[in-house]
Amino acid sequence: MEQRPEFFELNIVKTIAADILNETEQLGEMPVLTIEAGRSEKHYWADLWRYRELFYFLAWRDLLVRYKQTVVGVAWSLIRPILSVVMLTVIFGIVGKMPSGGVPYALLVFCGMLPWQFFSTALSESGNSLVTNSNLISKVYFPRLIVPASSVVTSFVDFLVSAAFLVVLLVWYQFMPPLNIVFLPLFILLAFAASLGAGIWIAALMVEYRDFRIIVPFVVQFGVLATPVAYLSSNISKNLGDNWRMLYSLNPMVGVIDGFRWAILGGEHKIFWPGLLLSILVTAILLLSGIWYFRRTEKSFADVI
Amino acid sequence: MSGTVIKVENLSKRYVIGSKRNPQDGLRHQIEAAIRNPLRWLTSKKSAEGADSKEFWALRDVSFEIKRGEVVGIIGSNGAGKSTMLKILSRITEPTSGRIGLQGRVASLLEVGTGFHAELTGRENIFLNGAILGMSKVEIKRKFDEIVAFSEIEKFLDTPVKRYSSGMYVRLAFAVAAHLEPEILIVDEVLAVGDAQFQKKCLGKMQEVSQGGRTVLFVSHNMQAILALCSTAIWLEGGKLLEKGDAKSIADKYNIKAAAENNYSDVPVINKKRTGSGAGRFVDVKVQSIDQHGKLKQHFETGCSWQVDLEILCHANFQDANVAVTVNDTNGYRLVDVNTALKGEFLSLKENQKSKVRFLMENVRLKPGKYVIELWLGRGGVEEIDFVKDVAVIEVFEDMDAIKHTETFPGVYQCGFTHQFIK
C-alpha cells in the first residue's frame, strides 16, 4: 500500500503532529475504514497523497477558467503588478522622493510587490475557496485541505509570471543581482508557507463566519501599508527604533520582503536577523495552527456551508 | 464476518435547524470567549443547543450489514434519511453517533455533473469531473474513448459545456461516473434526470456494474428501477430502518402503504367545490379495488376492477338525470367515462329522497400512475345538477404478477394482447 506522504514541511509537521502520525494501519489486503463521530480521520494524510492530483486539477481549472473568453489572456497576470509598480514609483519615488537604498526605486518596489501580490491574492482566493466550491464540498469526498491549497498554487503561478517580468526589469536597469540570489527559493518557500497558513485559517473561518468576506479585503488594504512594499523596513529602525521593528516583524511578510530585497538587490539591503527569525516563527505557528483549526472544523463543513 | 463490506451500527445523525442561530456562536462572542479564557475556548466544542434552535434527527439508530456483491436498493418517502445516510457513507458529513466499517474503495454519485464548470469544454470537464470523483489522470486517459462513446457527444467535445443541451450535459456527466471502478458504488436518485432513453442506458450500465461483482447501493423512488437492479432492499422511514430484505416483497409493502396514504382526498365530497343547479348533491363516495375473483384488494393495479359507491341526496325534484363517473389524468384530460345513460337508465328523485348507485368498472387497464375521479349528475345538454371535480385521487400500480419485464412504457392503456413471431 502507499508509503507515508512526503509532505513538503515534513520536519515541522513531525515535531508537532506526532500523534496523528501514529495512525495509518493497513490490515490485510484492503484497509478497513471506520467512520465514527469525533474520530480523527486516520487515513487523512494518506488520502491527501492519494488525491494529490486534485491539487493540480483544481488549480488548472481555476487558471483555465480565468483566461477563457479573454483576449488579453495570460498577460493579465503581468498588468496588475506593472501598473502598481508604475503608480507607486511615480507617487513615492518621484513625487515623494523616498529613500531607496541605492537602487532604482522601481526595482525596490517591484521586489516588495512581487511577494506581496502573491500573498494577498492567495489570501483572498483561498479564503473564499471553500465557499466558492461549496457544491463540491457537499457532494463529493476528498480531503478538504486540497481546496485552499490549490488556490495558493494558482496564485503561485501568477507569481511566477510576474517574476519573469522582474528579470526584464533587471535587464532594463542593467542591474546584476548578487550571489545572495541563490537563497531566493528559501524566501519564496517562506512566502508560500505564510500564504498557505493564512489562507487555510481564513478559509475555515469563512465557512462559519461570512464576516470575513468583508474583513479580508480590509486587511489586505491595511497590509500594503504595514508591509515594506513601498518603503524600506530599515526606515522603521531609523525613525522608531529597534523595538518597534520587532513588533513590526510579527507580520510574516516583512521577513519575506526583506529577504527578497537582500537576495535580489544586495548592497545596502541587509537582513534584520531578529526580525527574520520572528517572521519564520510566526509563519510556522500560522501554518500549523491553521491546519489544526481546519481539521477540527472540517467535519462540519458540509453541514454548514 | 468475511464478505461483509459495509457494516453500519447504531448510526444516528442530528441536525440543528432553525435560522435563529445561537448568539453564543457569533464571531464577536467567539473572540470574546477566546480572549477571556483561551484554554477553555481551545478545548470547548461548539454548543449545539441554543435558546431557539430545534433538533432534527435525520437518522436514528440505523444498523445493517451488506455483503460483497450485493445490490441493495434503498427506498423511503422524501425526508426518510436516505440521502443523509449516503452522505455519511461517502464521508461527506460525520455521524452524530454510531459507527460504520467500510472495506474497499468507495465512489459515490450523489449528483450528476459534480464539479462541471460551464466555461470548460467537454473534454476538459471529463478530466476535471473524473479527478474529482477519484480517478487518476492515467485512468481517465485510458478510459477517455469509452467515456466519449458512451455519452455520444464526440462532435461537441471541444465546445464549452454551457452550450450543451441539458440532455447532453447529463449524458456526459453520467458517462464519466459510469466508468468509475470502485469496490463499493453509491448512487443517489441520479436516474431522475434525463429522458427515457437515457434512463434505460443508465440502468443498463448499472446492471453491468453489478454483474461485475461490485457492491452497489442505489437510492431511487422509481420502483421499476429498483426491482430491475436490486435483489435486496432497505426501507427507511423517518430516519429509522423499517425493514431489510427481499426487494420485491418490500416494494410491494411500500406500494401498499403509499396507496393507502394517497388514495382518498382529505375533504369529503359534501364539502367540495361544485357547479350545477344543486337540485341534487353527491353526499358520499367510496372507490375500491376488486380483483378478478371479486375480492376486495388493498391497492389498485392495472387490470383490476373499480367499484364506485355513490350516494345522492335530492334537494329539489329532478327527473331523468344521468349519473356519470369519469376518470381523468392529472392534467384533467378525460380517459374513462361510465354513466347510466349508456345503459338507458336514468335517475329521478323527489325532494329529500336519497339514492345509492354502485358502478363496477370492469378490468380497468389504466397504466400505473395517478388518476382523478370526477362525478357528474345532470341531463346531457339540458341541465347540470351537480358536477364535482377532484373527488379523489387514485394511484394505480403495476400488476406484478402479470408482467415479466419491469419497465413501464409510456401510454395510458395497457391492452391485453397475444403475439406470435411469424417466420
Q: Is B183 on the interface with A (CB under 8 A)?
A: yes
Q: Do A53 and B99 touch (CB under 8 A)?
A: no
**Quick one: cell of B110?**
450523489
Q: For residue B76, what are the domain limits?
A: 4-11+59-259
* Domain tally, chain B: 3
B143 pLDDT above the threshold of 80? yes
User: Looking at chain A, which residue has its C-alpha nearest residue B104?
Assistant: A30
pLDDT digit string, tens, across residues A62-74: 888 887 767 776 6
Q: Is A64 on the interface with B (CB under 8 A)?
A: yes
What is B291-339 written as a DSSP string? -TTS-EESSEETT-EEEEEEEEEESS-EEEEEEEEEEEETTS-EEEEEE
Beta-bridge mates of residue B383: B379
Model ipTM over 0.85: no
Q: Do B88 and A136 touch (CB under 8 A)?
A: no
What is the rounded CA–CA span in Å between residue B129 and residue B114?
7
A83 pLDDT above the threshold of 70? yes
**Higher pLDDT among residues B295 and A244, named by residue:** B295
Q: For residue A99, what are the domain limits?
A: 55-304
- Measured CA distances, B179 to A37, B4, B165, B188, B341 (Å): 32, 24, 22, 16, 61
pLDDT digit string, tens, across residues B125-134: 999 999 988 8
Mean pLDDT of A15-26: 38
B92 min Cα distance to partner chain A (Å): 5
- Measured CA distances, B368 to B20, B262, B329, B407 (Å): 44, 14, 11, 11
Same domain, B224 and B364: no
Q: Cβ contacts (< 8 Å) between A1 and chain B: which residues?
A: none
A28 pLDDT above the threshold of 80? no
Q: Cβ contacts (< 8 Å) between A68 and chain B: which residues?
A: 119-120, 160
Same domain, A234 and A131: yes
Same domain, A232 and A92: yes
B164 close to B112: Cβ distance less than 8 angstroms: no
Q: What is the largest CA-CA distance in chain A?
A: 72
Same domain, B48 and B64: no
Q: Which among B103, B114, B127 has CB closest to A136?
A: B114
Task: Give the domain CATH number at B247.
Answer: 3.40.50.300
**Higher pLDDT among residues A93 and B303, named by residue:** B303
| pLDDT value for B407 | 66
Which backbone phi and psi does B15 adopt, to 5 degrees? -115, 150
* Strand runs labelled E in B140-223: 184-188, 215-219
| pLDDT value for A300 | 85
> How buried is residue B171: exposed, middle or buried, by Cβ count under 10 Å (0-12/13-18/19+)?
buried
A55 min Cα distance to partner chain B (Å): 10
* Strand runs labelled E in B104-231: 106-109, 184-188, 215-219
B199 pLDDT above the threshold of 70? yes
A241 close to A270: Cβ distance less than 8 angstroms: no
What H or E segment, with its residue span, contains residue B410? none
Same domain, A118 and A32: no
What residue type is B237 in one-letter code?
Answer: E
pLDDT digit string, tens, across residues B48-106: 444 456 888 999 999 999 988 889 999 998 888 898 999 999 889 889 999 899 888 88
Q: Which among B92, B103, B124 has CB closest to A141?
A: B92
Q: Is A63 on the interface with B (CB under 8 A)?
A: no
Mean pLDDT of B181-185: 85
User: Looking at chain A, which residue has its C-alpha nearest residue B140?
Assistant: A53
C-alpha angle with apex A129: A126 to A131, nearest 5 degrees? 140
| pLDDT value for B80 | 87
Write down the mean pLDDT value for chain A.
80
B265 pLDDT above the threshold of 60? no
pLDDT above 90: percentage of residues in chain B? 28
C-alpha angle with apex B299: B298 to B302, nearest 5 degrees? 140
B395 pLDDT above the threshold of 90? no
pLDDT digit string, tens, across residues A165-174: 888 888 888 8
B394 close to B300: Cβ distance less than 8 angstroms: yes
| pLDDT value for A8 | 38
Q: Cβ contacts (< 8 Å) between B48 and chain A: which residues?
A: none
Same domain, A42 and A77: no
Task: Tell if the pTM clears 0.90, that is, is over it.
Answer: no
Which backbone phi and psi does B193 adopt, to 5 degrees? -100, 160
Same domain, B192 and B340: no
B172 backbone φψ class: left, alpha, beta (φ>0; ψ -120 to 50): alpha
Residue reference for cell 464539479: B115
* Other CB atoms within 10 A of residue A57 CB: 22
C-alpha angle with apex A183: A177 to A186, nearest 5 degrees? 135
Write down the mean pLDDT value for chain B.
84
Same domain, A41 and A112: no
* Other CB atoms within 10 A of residue A288 CB: 18
Task: Give the domain CATH number at B386.
Answer: 2.70.50.60
A299 min Cα distance to partner chain B (Å): 6
Residue B169 lies in a domain: yes
Radius of gyration in angstroms for the set of CA atoms belonging to chain A, rounded to a whole number: 21
Mean pLDDT of B230-259: 86
Question: Which residues, at least 6 apart from B342, have a Cβ–Cβ distance to it below 8 Å?
Answer: none
Q: Which of B230, B166, B228, B160 lies closest to B193 in space, CA to CA?
A: B166
What is the rounded CA–CA span in Å between residue B80 and residue B76?
6
Q: Which of A181, A184, A54, A188 lies closest to A122 in space, CA to CA?
A: A188
B1 min Cα distance to partner chain A (Å): 13
**Highest-pLDDT range among A6-10, A138-142, B191-195, B197-201:** A138-142
Q: Cβ contacts (< 8 Å) between A303 and chain B: which residues?
A: 15, 93
What is the rounded CA–CA span in Å between residue B202 and residue B184?
17
Residue B421 lies in a domain: no
| pLDDT value for A24 | 35
Same domain, A45 and A67: no
Same domain, B77 and B174: yes
Same domain, B92 and B68: yes
B263 close to B393: Cβ distance less than 8 angstroms: yes
Residue B332 lies in a domain: yes
Same domain, A300 and A238: yes
Q: Which of A187, A158, A168 lies closest to A107 in space, CA to CA?
A: A168
Quickly state the pLDDT bin for A41 (edges 50, 70, 90): low
Residue B223 lies in a domain: yes
Residue B293 lies in a domain: yes
Same domain, B31 and B86: no
- Upper half-sphere CA count for residue A297 (Cβ side, 13 Å): 21
- Measured CA distances, A295 to A18, A41, A144, B213, B293 (Å): 15, 9, 9, 36, 65
Q: Is A61 on the interface with B (CB under 8 A)?
A: yes
Q: Cβ contacts (< 8 Å) between B106 and chain A: which residues?
A: 33, 141
Q: Do B99 and A303 touch (CB under 8 A)?
A: no
Same domain, B245 and B354: no
Q: Is A139 on the interface with B (CB under 8 A)?
A: yes
Same domain, A112 and A222: yes
DSSP designation for A94: I
What is the rounded CA–CA span in Å between residue A60 and residue A54?
9
Residue B148 lies in a domain: yes
> How buried is residue B28: exposed, middle or buried, by Cβ count under 10 Å (0-12/13-18/19+)?
exposed
Residue B242 CA from chain centroid, whole number: 17
Mean pLDDT of B43-47: 53
A77 close to A158: Cβ distance less than 8 angstroms: yes
Alpha helices by DSSP H, A27-183? 44-50, 52-67, 76-88, 105-132, 134-137, 146-172
Beta-bridge mates of residue B17: B54
* Domain tally, chain A: 2
A121 close to A27: Cβ distance less than 8 angstroms: no
| pLDDT value for B40 | 65
Q: Cβ contacts (< 8 Å) between A37 and chain B: which residues?
A: 94-98
Q: Cβ contacts (< 8 Å) between A65 and chain B: which residues?
A: 117, 119-120
Same domain, A165 and A240: yes
User: Looking at chain A, which residue has its C-alpha nearest residue B84?
Assistant: A303
Q: Are strands B274-275 and B383-397 parallel, antiparallel or unpaired?
A: antiparallel
Beta-bridge mates of residue B301: B397
Sign for the pseudo-dihedral over CA of A52, A54, A55, A56: positive
Mean pLDDT of B119-143: 91
Q: Is B375 helix (H, G, I), strand (E, B) or coil?
A: strand
Same domain, B198 and B342: no
Q: Is A33 on the interface with B (CB under 8 A)?
A: yes
Same domain, A126 and A1: no
**Highest-pLDDT range among A50-54, A195-199, B131-135:** A195-199
DSSP designation for A4: P
Q: Cβ contacts (< 8 Å) between A42 and chain B: which residues?
A: none
pLDDT digit string, tens, across residues B309-361: 999 999 988 888 999 999 998 778 899 999 999 999 998 888 888 999 999 99
Sign for the pseudo-dihedral over CA of B65, B71, B75, B79: positive
Q: Do B137 and A61 touch (CB under 8 A)?
A: no
Residue B413 lies in a domain: no
Same domain, A172 and A262: yes
Mean pLDDT of A102-120: 85
B24 min Cα distance to partner chain A (Å): 13
Q: Do A32 and B101 touch (CB under 8 A)?
A: yes
Of B259, B288, B304, which residue sits at a domain end?
A: B259
Q: Is B349 helix (H, G, I), strand (E, B) or coil?
A: strand
User: Of A167-181, B191-205, B214-228, which gets the smallest average pLDDT?
Assistant: B191-205
Q: Which of A62, A285, A135, A301 lies closest to A204 in space, CA to CA?
A: A301
- Upper half-sphere CA count for residue B42 (Cβ side, 13 Å): 6
Suggest the residue from A60, A70, A140, A209 to mutate for an interface test with chain B (most B CBs closer than 10 A).
A140
Same domain, A97 and A233: yes
